[in-house]
Chain A
Amino acid sequence: MRNKDKRDNRSDLDSNIDPVVKYADPTRGLDPQQQSRRDFLEGSGAAVVAGAGISALGISTAQAQSSNSAARTAISVTVNGIQHSLEVEDRWTLAELLRDELDLTGTKIGCNRSECGACTVIMDGQPIYSCSQLAVWANGANIQTVEGLAVNGELNPVQEAFVANNGPQCGFCTPGQLMTATALLNNNPSPTTDEVKDAMVGNLCRCSNYNSIVEAVVMAGEQGGVA
């Protein structure tokens, strides 16, 4: 039930009213009881500064205690059309589940704290930061990763446009950029440049290949979107 509640809350974010907020921090508002991971980490960072002083950077005592036991929960999740029933450790993030258990290493972890967007996957139609979702929360969800974009070896239009217009430089942010762009085009098949920038503001690129990425997404839209 708890998981279902969360998805219901997330559907509040599905509207196109404020895509910046929606994409910038998908953990917000998922569960009134649930502090966002970013808030949690910001708080724990301050605790390190003010506190005992022997903690490792960014690892708070609270986090350590919560990971004392490796409790496991059985979940069922559909990833790229394949249903998996498996036990996950309660402390695993969705990104860890995808990368370490399902060997879908296309999803990247750039910051592990909702800052960069490299870990973006599509969950029940929404682009989300998989570093900031626990794997147990994905129970019952339908997830698409970068490995699921091409069908029978045919690249989707966003992938094609990324190839043609040099979407990747180092390529580390590319899977996340592709997932957010695909989710955008699913809802808005031919977005304007500004709409692309609004939708993708939560996906950073330190190579700063932003111009090429936006051009590629607009190009993909002009060629018919992802339908």
Chain B
Amino acid sequence: MSELTRTGLEPLNIIGNETARVDAVERVTGQAKYTRDWKLPGMLYAKVLRSPHPHARIVSIDTTEAAALPGVRSIITHEDAQVVWGSGSVNGGRQYNDPTKDATLHRRYIFNNPVRFVGDSVAAVAATDRHIAAQALTLIKVEYEELPFVLEPEESLADGAPQIWPEGNLCPDFRGELKPMVSDIGDVEAGFEEADHVFEERYETSFIHNAQMEPRCALAHWQRDKLVLYTPSQGISNCRHDTARDLGLEDHQVQVITKYMGGGFGNKNQNQDADLVAATLSRRAGVPVMLEYSRREDWLGVHGRWPTVQNYKIGVKEDGTVTAMELRGYSGMGPYRKNSGGISGMDAYGCPNRYREIHPVYTNRTTSGNFRAPSEPHGFYGVENMMDEVAYQIGMDPVEFTKINMRRPTEEQQFTNYSLEEVIDDGVDRFNWQSRRKVVPGSDDGPIKRGAGFSFMMFRAGVGTSSAIVRVNAREEYTLYVGVTDIGPGAKTTMGMIAAEALNVPLSQVEVVWGDTDRCPYSVGESGSRTTIMTGIAVVEAVQDLQRQIADGGMPSGSDVLIASASPTPTTDGKTRQCFGAHFVEVEVDTRVGSTRILKYTAVHESGRIINPTTARDQIRGATLQGIGQALHENLLYDPKTGQPLTPGYYRGRHLTHKDIPDIDVHFIEVDDGYGPFGAKTAGESGIILAPAAVANAVANATGKRMTSLPITRDKILGAMA
């Protein structure tokens, strides 16, 4: 059994106590309604035809035969449905910025010509039945002129590479200029001069599909000039705004409903092409349309974590002080730039001389986008394996090496609190780091080798604008309106607990209304681990307003109600607010077959005050396991000759199953820094940041061979040991 332990703060009345989700019964009885579970009168079913080619110009599309199939009601293609999907491609990957979307150089439409990856949308059909819609797709005749394609980011930038966009294959920045992302701090050349040793290595990471269990879908229903959209969205407010903009509507003309959602994992705090396709078909057909993606379509047509190449150069003194860090990175974005392509991790070090140059690059692979901690897990894997290797090369314990070099508060940049050292020390003790680590990597005799790895991180826990409304009636029943969706972390329950604590009433006296833009105020959305903090602060302030009203005029009587709302924009007084974590893992590698087994896993986190230990624990465990999958298994391989994806789907992607799962001990060091609701910080993304780095470091410690590309599959271990 895995352990959950906590130190630092005592539970409050509600907060800090292990609490079952307020909607747990709906979730275990099949009553929870997900988007595909809705059925509206006269509803049609829709399906999308997708490109079988990695890069091709559509010469012609003939829909005559498909349209003649009994039951087919509407067919749309790039010829007659030219809807810009603003979130589908943005200069610089800036998702929440209308002016940037307006100025975007490389626009993505719901259907594109040329098509630029296997899975790019070509046409959509709405029919009375999903089987008829599927059949109609096969009757659409598309003539393609195949174009040369490119899959690897560095090849994509080479002279003579196929041009995916007229201006070339380097993605434009937010100004529309074709420049890499550069961060230049201090004097990196002087730093290398100062170093006793300079190390260089190249790391690579793979495309990781979100692979949420609920395949993408959308149900659109027009009521005169208003669109009602049922869709799995991590952010109903942003989804509404995006959809309104893309369809030429005002925000109030769109109602987004997301009651239950089968997982998020990123890049869904916005609208999706499925929303726009369903809305367009529904408007033309005059009835509601349910668009359903298959699992394969979801895998290829949606998005996942960008694959990267990371070239590091590190200068270090004999005493372990890092004097210079350099990263030249490439991120494969697919043919549209949905998000940044960032590679984070170097910022967790205090080295004064740091140069980072990242090229987000177009390729003819499936589109990349934010996946849980968008820039971090691959970046921390790269930099922390680089640094782990440097530590062993100069004969130091990686933990000691980290303590010399990790970022700490400075006069110029203070933290709201800083507990990284405490987190690391706690993990060292709990895990017995000194006894599990091999001082000489790979020193176990025999073919079965054990070793231990470590990783650390800090991750933003900033504050920001969000809203909440709270209402009370004469029976002292409270209703909390928050624009959250409940994608898995348990935001409804967390918001209810924060309200109940602030109101000093039992949780059962608070009803939470969520997931509907017509009923709930703005929420920042379930991304960036922000909901607990930002919407949580709004809940606290709305409750304070209500309490002032009650103090002034007493509780309502009869059928009266009191209503209070808040839309705060808090600050952290110029300080940076971070959560902290350190992971320690012991692995056993069977070098005869290349398999890696996890023997012990200890995750220590400081995420401020923990609101609900049960769900917080499972955010850490679930994210960690996703990170282990990224470290050891997951990849979307392509055939270089044909540009065809080879491993879409859970089996081929080799996703973790019950039998792969180690116990994961989670320890929270709780702190209240005075910011955030009751001191809460971020939790949802922090686990995944640490797992790939820690697992890969452990494999290196066990085998004595540094694994410089993820996933660490059996063939790579066998190759390294050969």
Interface residues of A (CB under 8 A from B): 20, 45, 48-49, 53-59, 61, 63-64, 67-68, 70, 89, 91, 99-100, 103-113, 115-116, 118, 145-147, 149-150, 155, 159, 162-175, 178, 193, 196-198, 200-215
Interface string of B58-84 (1 = CB under 8 A from A): 000000000000000000000000000
CB contact under 8 A between A170 and B655, given known A55-B52, A56-B50, A67-B135: no
The answer to whether B213 and A64 have CB atoms under 8 Å apart is: no
Bound Cα distance A226, B29 (Å): 15
User: Beyond A53-B53, A56-B50, is A168–B28 a contact (Cβ under 8 Å)?
Assistant: yes
B539 proximal to A (CB < 8 A)? no
Please give, as numbers and ranges, the residues of chain A lying within 8 Å of B649 by CB-CB distance.
Answer: 111, 113, 115
Partner pick for B621 among A111, A112, A211, CB 8 A cutoff: A211
12 more contacts with CB within 8 A, not counting A56-B50, A209-B622, A211-B625, are: A54-B142, A54-B144, A55-B138, A64-B138, A155-B25, A163-B21, A168-B24, A173-B262, A204-B657, A206-B263, A208-B625, A208-B626
Interface residues in B214-249 (C-beta closer than 8 Å to A)? 214-215
Name the residue on B nearest A200 (C-beta): B658
CB distance from B212 to the nearest CB of A (A): 6
B481 to chain A, nearest CB (A): 22
Contact of B49 among A56, A100, A145, A166 (CB under 8 A): A56
In Å, the complex CA distance between A107 and B29 comes to 10
Question: Closest chain B residue to A169 by CB distance?
Answer: B488
Check B534 for interface membership: any CB of A closer than 8 A.
Answer: no
> Contacts of A20 on B, CB cut-off 8 Å?
659
Distance (whole angstroms) from the CB of B288 to the closest CB of chain A? 15
Chain B residues near A147 (CB, 8 Å)?
A: 29-31
Q: Which of A53, A105, A163, A206 contacts B144 (CB 8 A)?
A: A53
A201 to B657, CA, bound (A): 6
Q: Are B664 and A211 in contact (CB under 8 A)?
A: yes
3 closest A-B pairs by CB: A106-B30, A172-B262, A208-B625
- B165 near A: Cβ within 8 Å? no
Size bracket of the B interface: 35 or more
Given A108-B34, A108-B214, A209-B618, residue A155 in contact with residue B52 (CB < 8 A): no
Give bound CA distance, A198 to B661, whole Å. Answer: 11
Dominant secondary structure of chain A at its interface with chain B = loop
Q: How far is B297's CA from A70's CA once the two chains are assembled, in angstroms?
A: 25
Residues A115 and B650 in contact in the complex (CB < 8 Å), given A108-B262, A172-B263, A211-B2: yes
Which chain B residue lies CB-closest to A199? B658
- In the assembly, what is the distance between CA of A207 and CA of B617, in Å? 13
| A57 and B294 contacting across the interface, CB-CB below 8 Å | yes
Q: Residue B20 at the A interface, CB < 8 A?
A: yes
- Do A204 and B213 touch across chains, with their CB atoms under 8 A apart? yes
B294 A112 Cβ-Cβ under 8 A: yes
Set of chain B residues within 8 Å of A108, measured between Cβ atoms: 34, 213-214, 262
| Assembly CA distance A174 to B260 (angstroms) | 13
How many residue pairs bridge A and B at CB < 8 Å?
222
- The answer to whether A170 touches B297, judged by C-beta atoms less than 8 angstroms apart, is no
Give B29's nearest chain A residue, CB to CB. Answer: A150
A59–B30 touching, CB < 8 Å: no
Indicate if the CB atoms of A67 and B263 lie closer than 8 Å: no
Q: Taking the complex as formed, is B475 at the interface, i.e. its CB lies under 8 A from any CB of chain A?
A: no
* Interface status of B137 (Cβ within 8 A of chain A): yes
Partner of B658, one of A54, A63, A178, A201: A201
Cβ < 8 Å to A, chain B residues 113-142: 118-119, 129, 131, 134-135, 137-138, 140-142
Closest to A118 in B: B213
B650's closest neighbor in chain A, by CB?
A115
Question: Cβ of A57 and Cβ of B119 under 8 Å apart?
Answer: yes
Q: Is the CB of A206 within 8 A of B265?
A: yes
B563 part of interface (Cβ distance < 8 Å): no
Using CB atoms, name the residue of chain B closest to A24: B657
Residues of chain A contacted by B27 (CB below 8 angstroms):
162, 168, 171, 174
Give every chain A residue within 8 A of B618 (Cβ-Cβ): 166, 169, 207, 209, 211-212
Interface status of B147 (Cβ within 8 A of chain A)? no
Alpha-carbon distance A91/B294, docked complex (angstroms):
17
Chain B residues positioned under 8 Å from A155 (CB to CB): 25, 28-29
CB-based contact A53/B52 at 8 Å? yes
In the bound complex, how far is the Cα of B31 from the Cα of A103, in angstroms? 11
Is A174 a contact of B28 with CB atoms below 8 Å? yes
- Chain B residues with Cβ under 8 A from A70's Cβ? 129, 131
B29–A172 CB distance below 8 A = no
B residues in contact with A106, CB < 8 Å: 29-31
A207 in contact with B622 given A91-B131, A170-B263, A197-B661 (CB within 8 Å): yes
Q: Which of B134, B140, B300, B658 contacts A214 (CB 8 A)?
A: B658
Instruction: Report which residue of B30, B210, B264 has the largest number of chain A beta carbons within 10 angstroms of its beta carbon.
Output: B30
How many Å from the CB of B264 to the closest CB on chain A? 8
Q: Are A211 and B212 in touch, CB under 8 angstroms?
A: no
B131–A110 touching, CB < 8 Å? no
Q: Which residue of A has the minimal Cβ distance to B30?
A: A106
Given contacts A108-B214, A115-B651, contact A163 B25 (CB under 8 A): yes
Question: What's the minimum C-beta distance from B299 to chain A, rounded to whole angstroms?
Answer: 9
* B317 at interface, CB cutoff 8 A: no
The docked-state distance in angstroms from the alpha carbon of A16 to that of B144 is 52
Do residues A210 and B661 form an inter-chain contact, with CB atoms below 8 A?
yes
Instruction: Decide: A45 and B659 in contact? CB cutoff 8 A.
Output: no
Q: Closest CB-CB distance, B492 to chain A, in whole Å?
A: 12
B621 and A57 contacting across the interface, CB-CB below 8 Å: no
B313 within 8 A of A: no
Find out whether the CB atom of B211 lies under 8 angstroms from the CB atom of A107. Answer: no
Query: Contact: B52 with A208, CB < 8 Å?
Result: no
CA distance A201 to B661 in the complex (A): 10
- Which A residues are CB-close (under 8 A) to B294? 57-58, 112
